[in-house]
Structure 1
Amino acid sequence: MTQLRKARRLTLVQLSERLTEIGRPILPTGLSKIEHGERGLSVDDLVALAAALDVSPEQLIDPAPITLTVETVIQ
């Protein structure tokens, strides 16, 4: 998740704001804990995070390296 968030140039605060906008608020501290493996995720959280990062839930689960195109980074 950290790699995706940083590739999209989002801070934890900005990602938290996106999650709030889509109706699944997670505080920046909660997001930090998720990124550091200190907090688990519900399926609803996973789906919301995927939507906020504009990826599929599978991309958050699969540890395969992420390849971004220039178009993805610019968006």
Structure 2
Amino acid sequence: MTQLRKARRLTLVQLSERLTDLGRPILPTGLSKIEHGERGLSVDDLVALAAALDVSPEQLIDPSPIMLAVETVIQ
């Protein structure tokens, strides 16, 4: 999730705001805990995070194909 967020140039605060707009608020501290594996996700959180990052839930679970494309574009 961190790589996807940073690839979209989003801060934790901005991602938190997107989630709030989607009706599934998660505070920036909660997002940080998710990124560091200190907090789990419900299916509803996963779907909202995927929407906020403009990817499918499957891509959020396994971002490797997306990250290969992002790394290619960045280089």
Global fold match (TM > 0.5): yes
TM-score (norm 2): 0.86
Structure 2: runs of 5 or more not aligned: none
CA RMSD in angstroms, aligned pairs only: 3.3
**Structure 1 residue 68 displacement after superposition:** 7.0
Query: Structure 1 residue 64: deviation in Å?
Result: 1.9
Contact 1:7–1:73 (8 Å) recurs in 2: no
Q: What's the offset of the Cα at 1:41?
A: 0.1
Structure-1 separation of matches of 2:58 and 2:65: 13
Instruction: Call closer, same or farther: CA 1:27–1:37 in 2, change over 3 Å.
Output: same
Task: Give the percent of matched residue pairs that are identical in Structure 1 and Structure 2.
Answer: 93
Q: Which has the higher contact order (CA 8 A, sep 6+)?
A: 1
Aligned length: 75
CA pair 31-73 structure 1, distance change in 2 beyond 3 A: farther
Cα distance change, pair 7–29 in 1 and its aligned pair in 2 (3 A):
same
Match of 2:40, SS state, is coil
The structure whose residues are more often helix, as a share, is 2
Structure 1, unaligned runs of 5 or more: none
TM norm structure 1: 0.86
5 Å-filtered alignment, 1:11-30, equals 11-30=11-30
CA drift at 1:48? 0.1
The alpha carbon displacement at 1:71 in A equals 13
